[in-house]
């Protein structure tokens, strides 16, 4: 395929668009990561990540890996072979975490859930209350299940655990939520929170990030799982003096420093509000404009970072994705495992605004029309526009020459 002129429209649910400031920050000469200056960078990003996790006494670790590496670090540093875990299999990424845990030698009781539904809190409560011997050592939960566009209520999950007075640790995958959807580690009693660099933190893939509570750190003393590269004890010892136990991804750390600055300049609460506002416009395009359904079953669990769009019967969603990419230079997310071919995904997280999403909606609409999906041309764009214009968070006002024009226009005094 010859190159399509113009910029690729990247609307997969990660990696996300990288702000220009972050890209420039990563263009740095290599330097000595053992120098006396390096701790200024490492200490600042480790401390400021705690603010994004909203934790006071938790500890953050950065690995040169993906979020999958942070998954493994969370499990192996706090558990012993044969330990029991409870999880809900409600999407591709919850399935992968369960699979990893089993391959590492842990016993997982997996609650099977229809994909598109959220965490089955009632079933979790039944299992915890029946566990009178308190043999379950941890619960695995995806805050935002990227494959289905479902956000789970971690606060309510913690409330269920507390109501059962169960001591299990709470492991949470926050890869596609951290920095985009409200996450409250301390308030929700999260013990291990996994994330990565390529989504809400607006960086390339390459950093696995893990936040651990004091309870989780204490559990390391009795955990006997074998670990080396992901050993938190090595990280704790090296981080104490501002260094890492092995070579860090230096340009990524400079990019992370700039990304955190951008996040704090906008403000976390405003970022969460922006993501909800933008997601509502995308959902209006899907359901009101195109008349299609989301994979997520209930509005209460709709994700503000990704929408999984169900295609009509007889249509292969992979065809929509391929045409969007080859003809319109638009990258959409595919359906994974159980939902492959049945849906495509529009990512709407990180550094983006209404007009960027308008391009994604328009390109998706054209690709669907090309493969035979009977949507009305312009319907998705119109529905999103109606929502955003009716719910604009920025006050509309006229200033300067625009004000003069409108004033003169009403009285017929402006010429030229």
Q: What is the DSSP annotation of 346-384?
A: EE--SS--HHHHHHHHHHHHHHHHHTT--PPTTHHHHHH
pTM: 0.93
Go through the chain and tell me how many residues it has. Answer: 416
Confidence of residue 412 (pLDDT cuts 50, 70, 90): very low
Phi, psi torsion values for 188, nearest 5 degrees? -90, 0
Q: Do 20-264 and 9-14+267-390 fall under one CATH topology?
A: no
Q: pLDDT of 254-304, one tens digit each? A: 999 999 999 999 999 999 999 999 999 999 999 999 999 999 999 999 999
User: What whole-number distance in Å separates Cα of residue 345 and Cα of residue 252?
Assistant: 27
User: How far is CA 368 from each of CA 4, 78, 233, 279, 376, rounded to the nearest angstrom?
Assistant: 19, 47, 51, 20, 10
Q: pLDDT of 194-204, one tens digit each? A: 999 999 999 99
Instruction: Let me know the angle formed at the C-alpha of 311 by 359 and 387, rounded to the nearest 5 degrees.
Output: 45
Third-level CATH fold of 20-264: 3.40.640
- Domain spanning 9-14+267-390: which CATH class is it, in words? alpha beta
Q: pLDDT of 336-370, one tens digit each? A: 999 999 999 999 999 999 999 999 999 999 999 99
User: What whole-number distance in Å separates Cα of residue 263 and Cα of residue 367?
Assistant: 34
Report residue 247 as tokens: 């070579």
For the chain, the domains span 9-14+267-390, 20-264
User: How far is CA 64 from each of CA 14, 201, 204, 206, rounded to the nearest angstrom?
Assistant: 17, 15, 12, 6
Provide the mean pLDDT of the chain.
Answer: 95
């Amino acid at each position: 395929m010859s190159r399509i002129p113009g910029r690729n429209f990247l609307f997969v649910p990660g990696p996300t668009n990288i702000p220009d400031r972050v890209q420039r920050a990563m263009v740095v000469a290599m330097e000595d990561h053992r120098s006396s200056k390096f701790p200024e960078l490492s200490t600042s990003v480790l401390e400021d990540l705690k603010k994004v996790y909203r934790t006071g006494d938790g500890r953050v670790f950065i690995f040169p890996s993906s979020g999958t590496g942070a998954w493994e670090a969370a499990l192996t540093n706090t558990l012993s072979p044969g330990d029991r875990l409870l999880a809900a299999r409600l999407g591709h990424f919850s399935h992968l975490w369960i699979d990893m845990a089993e391959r590492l030698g842990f016993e997982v009781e997996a609650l099977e859930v229809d994909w598109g539904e959220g965490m089955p809190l009632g079933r979790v409560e039944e299992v915890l209350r029946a566990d009178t011997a308190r043999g379950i050592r941890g619960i695995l939960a995806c805050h935002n299940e990227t494959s289905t566009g479902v956000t789970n209520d971690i606060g309510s999950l913690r409330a269920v655990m507390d109501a059962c007075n169960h001591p299990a640790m709470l492991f949470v995958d926050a890869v596609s939520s951290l920095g985009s959807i409200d996450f409250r580690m301390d308030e929700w009693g999260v013990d291990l929170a996994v994330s990565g660099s390529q989504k809400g933190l607006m960086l390339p893939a390459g950093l696995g990030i893990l936040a651990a509570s004091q309870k989780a750190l204490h559990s390391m003393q009795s955990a006997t799982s074998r670990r080396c590269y992901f050993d938190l004890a090595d990280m704790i010892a090296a981080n104490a003096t501002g260094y890492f136990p092995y070579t860090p991804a230096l340009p990524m750390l400079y990019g992370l420093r700039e990304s955190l600055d951008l996040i704090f300049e906008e403000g976390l609460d405003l970022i969460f509000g922006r993501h909800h506002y933008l997601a509502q416009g995308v959902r209006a395009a899907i359901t009101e404009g195109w008349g299609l359904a989301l994979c997520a079953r209930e509005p209460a669990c709709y994700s503000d970072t990704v929408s999984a769009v169900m295609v009509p019967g007889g249509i292969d969603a992979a065809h929509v994705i391929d045409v969007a990419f080859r003809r319109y230079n638009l990258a959409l997310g595919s359906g994974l495992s159980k939902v492959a071919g049945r849906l495509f995904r529009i990512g709407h997280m990180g550094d983006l605004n209404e007009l960027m999403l308008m391009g994604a909606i328009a390109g998706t609409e054209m690709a669907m029309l090309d493969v035979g999906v009977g949507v009305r041309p312009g319907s998705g764009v119109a529905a999103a526009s109606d929502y955003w214009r009716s719910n604009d968070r920025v006050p509309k006002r006229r200033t300067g020459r625009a004000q003069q024009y409108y004033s003169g226009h009403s009285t017929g005094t402006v010429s030229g």
